[in-house]
A and B are shown apart, each in its own frame.
Chain A
Amino acid sequence: MTENPQQVTSASGPGGAIYDIGYRRYVGPRLGRRFAVRSLFAHTVRGAFGIGRGGRAKVVPFGLLVILMIPALVSLGVGALAGGAAEAFDPITYQGYYSITQAILFLFIAAQAPELVGPDQRNKVLPLYFSRPILRSDYAFAKLAALVAALMLFSLAPQALLFFGRILQAPDVGDGISKNLGSLLPILATACALSLFYAAIGLAISAFTPRRAYATAAIIGLFIASNAGVGILWQLLRGDARRILAFFSVETILAGVAAFFFDEKSENMIVRRADLPGWSYLVAVAIIAGVCIALLFRRYHVVET
C-alpha cells in the first residue's frame, strides 16, 4: 500500500514485477439509471432460477421446470413411436397444456416470489438500492418485470418444445408448420397474461410480508382457497347466478383467458358451463393484476428504510 496514489513502487523478481498503484480512480463510463434498472432486472431473473445463490436454491425452480416439460416430452415420445397415427389421440393440446403450466407455476410463484423481494427487506438491503441512481418505483418495476420474464420462460419452454417437436414430427414439415402456426400467437398471448397475473399477485403478497414462510403460505392459501371455494360453491349453487363464480378463482380466470386466446372451448368444466364472454376473463386479469401492481408500487413508495 503506498502512501501516495501517484507514487508507483515496484518489486522486481524472477517471476516478474508486482506494482502497487494505490487507489485508482474510475474513469470509465457511468451508464446511469436505465443500466441500473436493467442490472437489477437481470440479477432478479437469475435469482428466480436460483443462479448465484448456491446449489440448494436451484432445486425448486429447475425441479419444477423438469416436471413442467414431462407432458410435452411424453406427447412427443408417443408421437415418435406411433408416427402420425397418434396425433388424433394425443390428449395434449396447447391450450390444455396451460392448465398444467398454471398449476406448476403456482408452486413456482409460492416458492420464488417471496425469495425475490423478501430478503432485501429482511436483510435491510433496500437502503443500499435506494441510495443508487434509481427511484423506488424503478426497484418495484425491475422486480416485477424480472418475475414476469422468468414466468414467461417457464410457460413458453414446454410450449416451444411441443411446437417445434410437432412441426419436426409431421410427415411433411411444411404441413406441420401450417397446422401449428395458428397456435403461435395464442401461445404467446396466454403466456403473457398468465405471467403478468401470477407475478403481480405473487409480488404484491410477498412485498407486504417479508417473512418468507408467511408469504408462501399466503400465496398457497389464496390459490387453494379460491380454487377450492369456487369448486365447492359451483356444486352447491344452481342457476345463472353461479356463472359469476368463474371470476373468483385463479384457475377459472386463467382457463377462461386461455380459451379466449385460443378461440376454443375451454378444457375447464366451470368455464365451459359458465359460458361467459372470453374477453371478460381478460378484463378480470387486467383488473386483478392492476390492483396488485398498484399495491406493489405503493408498498415500495412508502416502505421505511
Chain B
Amino acid sequence: MPLIAISDLTKRFPGVTALDSLSVEIEPGIVGLVGANGAGKSTLIKILLGLLAPTSGEAEVLGMDSRRDGIRIRAVVGYMPEHDCLPPDLTATDFVTHMGRMSGIPSDGARERTADVLRHCGLYEERYRQIGTYSTGMKQRVKLAQALVHDPRILFLDEPTNGLDPAGREEMLDLIRRTGTEFGITVVVSSHLLGEIERVCDFLVAIDAGRLLRAAPLASFTQLTDLLAIEVEDRHDELAAMLGSRGLSARVDGSLVLVRMTAGMGDGPYDIVRDTVVDLDLPLIRMEQGRHSLEDLFRAEENDEAVAAGAPS
C-alpha cells in the first residue's frame, strides 16, 4: 500500500480551481512536489493534512482518510509551512517542546525529543536564545525541528529553501536529505525550483495548474532534460534535417532547434552543430544548454518526447 494515495482529487475555491482531478500515489522516500507558484502544491499539502476538505475525490495518508481522520493523520505527520511561523519571544527549546506536547508527546518525552531534533537540525547553544534574535537560516531549522519533534512518519515541507541565501539553501537541502535517508522519514518537499529539488529527491511529482504533469522516479526526468537549444535566424528545418543526417536527434521549436544530448557524447555534438551551421552558412545567434525554470523543463519534456518519437536514432 502506498503511503499517500490520491485519486481524482479536485479542490475548487470561488473563481479558481486549485486542484483538478489529481491522481498520484506516493511511496516511501524523498518526494519532490514541483510546480510553479500557484500550481496547487500548498493546497494539496493542506488537504493531505486534513485541514482543507477537497471538493471531490479522495486522499489517503497512511491508510487514513484525509476528510475523516485529520486528527489521527496530524498526530503522525509533520508540517513545515512556507512562511514565517515562529513566536519571536520564546526560545527555540521552549517553543519546540511546546509543539511536541501539542502533538501529544508527554512533557518529558517532548523535552528529550526537542534536544534531539534541535541538535539534528544544527542548533546548539543558540537554542536557549529567543527566536527573534535568529537569522533566517536558524529560523528555518527551528521550523524543521518543530515538524520533526514528534517523530512523524511523513514530513511535509512547503518551500523549505525560500528566503535562504545559497549557503543556507545548501545546508537546508543537506538536512532534508539526511532526514529522508538517516531518519527513515518519508519527506514530501515542495518547491518551484526544480534545479534545487532534484538534488535531494528520488521521486518527483510535477503539477501545473492543479493537474498532474508527471510522477516518476527522478532518474527518468533527468534523462530527458538534457537538451541543447540552438537559435538561428532562419532555415531551421534545413538545419534540423542536416543535424539529423549527421546522427543527432533534432527538431524545430519556434526559432530554436533542439538537440537531444545523451550522456557519454562528450563534446561531439557541439562540434557537429558548429560544423553544420558553418556548412549551411547560417548566422548562429546562441547555443544554450540546460533550463533555468520549471516551465522550460515541462515544455522541453513534451518537445523531447516529440523528438524521440519523430526522429528515431
Contacts and interface: CB of A to CB of B under 8 A. Distances in A.
A298 interface: no
A52 B85 CA distance: 19
B305 to A, nearest CB: 38
The residue in A23, A26, A120 that gathers the most chain B C-beta atoms within 10 A of its C-beta is: A26
A29 interface: yes
B113 A26 contact: yes
A32 B75 contact: yes
Interface stretch (B22-30, B32-40, B95-103, B291-299): B95-103
B52 to A, nearest CB: 10
A68 B8 CA distance: 61
A3 B81 CA distance: 28
Contact of B79 (A52, A53, A131): A131
Interface stretch (B86-94, B213-221, B282-290): B86-94
A124 B101 contact: no
Contacts of A29: 106, 109
A28 interface: yes
B103 A133 contact: yes
Interface stretch (A36-44, A143-151, A152-160): A36-44
Interface string A109-145: 0000000000110011101111111110000000000
Contacts of A35: 101, 104, 106
Contacts of A33: 71, 104
B49 interface: yes
Contact of B105 (A5, A28, A129, A131): A28
B89 A54 contact: yes
The residue in B74, B104, B109 that gathers the most chain A C-beta atoms within 10 A of its C-beta is: B104
A58 to B, nearest CB: 13
A8 to B, nearest CB: 14
A3 B182 CA distance: 7
A26 B105 contact: yes
B150 A26 contact: yes
Contacts, number: 104
B116 A30 contact: no
Size category of the binding interface on chain B: 35 or more
B83 interface: yes
Interface residues of A, number: 38
B184 interface: yes
A132 B74 contact: yes
B50 to A, nearest CB: 9
B90 to A, nearest CB: 7
A128 B71 contact: no
Contact of A131 (B51, B83, B101, B151): B51
B146 interface: yes
B171 to A, nearest CB: 13
Interface in A1-47: 3-5, 22-26, 28-33, 35-36, 39-40, 43
A52 B94 contact: yes
A305 interface: yes
A300 to B, nearest CB: 13
13 contacts: A24-B116, A26-B151, A28-B109, A30-B103, A123-B86, A123-B87, A124-B83, A127-B81, A127-B85, A131-B78, A133-B104, A134-B71, A135-B71
Given A23-B183, A26-B150, A35-B106, 14 more contacts: A4-B182, A24-B116, A25-B151, A28-B106, A36-B101, A43-B101, A54-B89, A119-B89, A123-B88, A127-B79, A129-B102, A133-B71, A133-B74, A305-B51
Among all A-B residue pairs, the 7 with the closest Cβ atoms? A26-B151, A39-B101, A131-B79, A133-B75, A132-B102, A23-B183, A28-B109
